[in-house]
Each structure stands twice: as C-alpha cells, then as structure tokens.
C-alpha cells in the first residue's frame, strides 16, 4: 500500500519511541535484578566471557578449536539455565526476557528492503488519523440525514430527492464496506450543500478502517501538489505525488474549484488514465455536469468519467441553507 511520506514519518517516529521505551524498560528491569539477585549480574558477566571464548575458538583449526568451542557452549548453556531459574524464582514471568519491540525486525521497521508488519500497522493507524483530519473527522453513514431531502416527486427525475439520495447512500455504504481493488469508480455530481463531501468523507473513513490506503484531497490541493512536483522535482515531492497513483483509493473532492489551465487538464487526464489502466478505484465529486466538464477540461476527460465511473446525481436543497434556517 502507498502511504504518504508524512504518514510514514509519523509511523517511524512512533516505532522509534516505542523501541526506546522498551529498551529503557529492559535496562530498568536488569538494574533491579542485579540489585535484588547479585548472582544474575555475575552470570551475565560470565556469559559475555563464554561468548567471546566461543568466537575465538571458532577461528582455531583442528580438534583443539572444536573442543574449546564445545566447552564454551556447555558452560554457556549451564549459565543460561541457572539464570532462568533465578529469574523464575525471584521475578514475574517475562521480567528479564529483554525482548525487542518486534521479534521480526527488532524494532527497525524493515526486513531487508520490505516494511515490517509492525511499521505497516502504525502506518495504517496514522493513515486513519490523516483521513479523519482531511475529511472532517466525524462523518459516518448513520449520520446522513435523509429528512433534509424533499419527499415529493421531482418531474425532472421521476422520483423524489429523498428516494434518489436514499439510493445514493446505499450505493456508497455498500461500496465502502465491501471495498476491494475491483470496487470501481464513483462520480458524484450535483450542486453545493447536497452531501457529496459528506459521503466522500464517509467512504474515506470506512475504507481506511478496512486497512486500505486512502488519499483524500480537494482538487485545488491535489493539482497544486502535482504542479509543485513538476517545477520543483525533489525526491520528497515525487514520493508525495506518487501516492495519488499508488494508493488503494483516491478521493478527489470539489473538482472544478481549482484554478483552470493547461497543466490541470493534462495532469487530470494523466491521473485518470493511470488509475483506470491499473484498475485503482477513484471517487470524484463535482458541481459540474458532464457537458461542463467537457468544456472546462476536455471531451476526452468527460468521456473517461462517463465510461469508467458510476455516476450518482445529488439532488435536493442546499443543506447548509436549511440548517441556517434552523430546519
């Protein structure tokens, strides 16, 4: 999964702190053990000596070297057994285990060049925090209020706004709770204050909770980062923008609110094309209809959105206005 540089940085800092805390705790336990049972300190000194003898014996040739190595091993084993008995008799189980924060990577976060499970889990947790901050932190499907939408049939749609939005809610909830790499793409189209950002945030949180990497960005912020990376191509900028194509789910909110231009059109087409070709899902929300998208960006982009996205039309009255009226 693709995590932003900032997410990985925070996760690594947490792991480093946990490693330091564990090592500090181990040192404290050892100091207590040495004070309470001095023989344990003597054993540890002897263990270091026998390990040094074993290392020296390994370089000696012939039977003398083998005999010295076997003798060092026997002494080492006896000392370890004595130490274990003393620990069991004087301390609770595991008190002197001296175990690292992670048995697989030792607390480094990596096994070779691959990220260890311990660091991956911390990245997931940090990803959830980031999604919560970016999307408004508290949105959940069960908080979506259908009573804001009129229950009378709109002749334009042949159904009431409430019926249409109830269907949209069901589709979004199913999409998020069963999310998989083959989930497909969603396009939210409708005026302001109709719940597009709210349901986008709900999807972001639910998918992140499933352990998937989610990038939630406003169109202005995303295209701004892509432009910055183009004209200032640092390694950090490359990693930051690579997550737009690599993440499990990209949510692009408020398409059409960014400053228009040739760069935005080209970057948007490339991003769309890359994610569609690799089968990586997207959720795009916009106040623009397909004809307006074709005029603002290009007919090719409009065609991509029509052909590769499931369109959901958001209808009703501006909920922000209704709330201001006290409704």
Check if the beta carbon of residue 319 is closer than 8 Å to that of residue 194.
Answer: yes
Q: Under 8 Å CB-to-CB from 40, ≥6 apart: which residues?
A: 33, 34, 83, 86, 87, 96
Domain ranges of the chain: 5-114, 136-324
- pLDDT given at position 144: 92
Q: Return the bridge partners of 186, or none.
A: 283, 310
- pLDDT given at position 301: 96
Tell whether the torsion through CA atoms of 284, 146, 204 and 310 is positive or negative. negative
Which of these, 162, 185, 157, 160, lies nearest to 172 by C-alpha position? 185
Q: 226 to each of 2, 130, 197, how far by Cα in Å?
A: 17, 19, 22
| Residue that has been written with the tokens 């929300």 in this structure | 285
- pLDDT given at position 241: 84
C-alpha span between 109 and 280 (Å, rounded): 27
Rg value, the chain, Cα: 30
Domain 136-324 fold is Rossmann fold (3.40.50)
**What is the bridge-based pairing of β-strands 185-190 and 114-115?**
unpaired
Q: Spell out, as residue ranges, where the chain has pLDDT lower than 50.
A: none
- pLDDT given at position 249: 93
- pLDDT given at position 129: 73
Q: Where are the alpha helices (DSSP H) in the chain?
A: 5-36, 38-57, 62-90, 117-135, 161-177, 196-209, 219-231, 235-246, 262-278, 290-296, 299-308, 319-324
- pLDDT given at position 49: 86
Mean pLDDT across the chain:
88
Check if the beta carbon of residue 169 is closer than 8 Å to that of residue 141.
Answer: yes
Burial class (CB in 10 A: 0-12, 13-18, 19+), 64: exposed
End-to-end CA distance of the chain: 43
Check if the beta carbon of residue 170 is closer than 8 Å to that of residue 178.
Answer: no
Please tell me what DSSP assigns to residue 185. Answer: E
Which pair of tokens denotes residue 168? 């949209």
Side-chain half-sphere exposure of 193, counting CA atoms within 13 A? 11
């Amino acid at each position: 999964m693709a995590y932003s540089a900032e997410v990985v940085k925070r996760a690594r800092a947490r792991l480093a702190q946990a490693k330091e805390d564990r090592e500090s705790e181990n040192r404290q336990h050892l100091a207590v053990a040495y004070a309470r049972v001095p023989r344990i300190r003597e054993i540890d000194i002897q263990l270091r000596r026998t390990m040094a003898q074993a290392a020296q014996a390994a370089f000696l040739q012939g039977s003398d070297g083998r005999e010295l190595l076997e003798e060092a091993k026997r002494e080492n084993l006896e000392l370890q057994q004595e130490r274990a008995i003393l620990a069991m008799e004087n301390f609770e189980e595991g008190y002197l285990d001296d175990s690292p924060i992670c048995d697989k990577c030792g607390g480094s976060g990596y096994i070779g060049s691959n990220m260890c499970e311990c660091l991956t889990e911390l990245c997931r947790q940090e990803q959830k925090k980031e999604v919560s901050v970016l999307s408004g932190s508290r949105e959940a499907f069960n908080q979506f209020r259908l009573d804001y939408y009129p229950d009378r049939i709109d002749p334009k749609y042949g159904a009431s706004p409430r019926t249409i939005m109830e269907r949209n809610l069901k589709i979004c909830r199913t999409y998020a709770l069963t999310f998989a790499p083959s989930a497909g793409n969603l396009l939210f189209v409708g005026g302001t204050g109709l719940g597009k950002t709210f349901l986008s945030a709900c999807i972001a949180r639910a998918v992140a909770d499933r352990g998937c990497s989610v990038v939630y960005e406003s169109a202005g912020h995303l295209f701004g980062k892509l432009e910055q990376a183009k004209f200032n191509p640092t390694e950090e900028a490359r990693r930051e923008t690579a997550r737009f194509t690599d993440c499990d789910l990209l949510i692009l909110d408020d398409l059409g609110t960014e400053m228009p231009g040739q760069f935005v059109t080209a970057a948007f087409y490339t991003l769309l094309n890359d994610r569609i070709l690799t089968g990586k899902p997207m959720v795009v929300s916009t106040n623009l209809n397909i004809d307006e998208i074709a005029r603002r960006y290009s007919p090719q982009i409009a065609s991509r959105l029509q052909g590769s996205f499931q369109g959901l039309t958001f209808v009703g009255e501006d909920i922000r206005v209704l709330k201001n009226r006290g409704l």
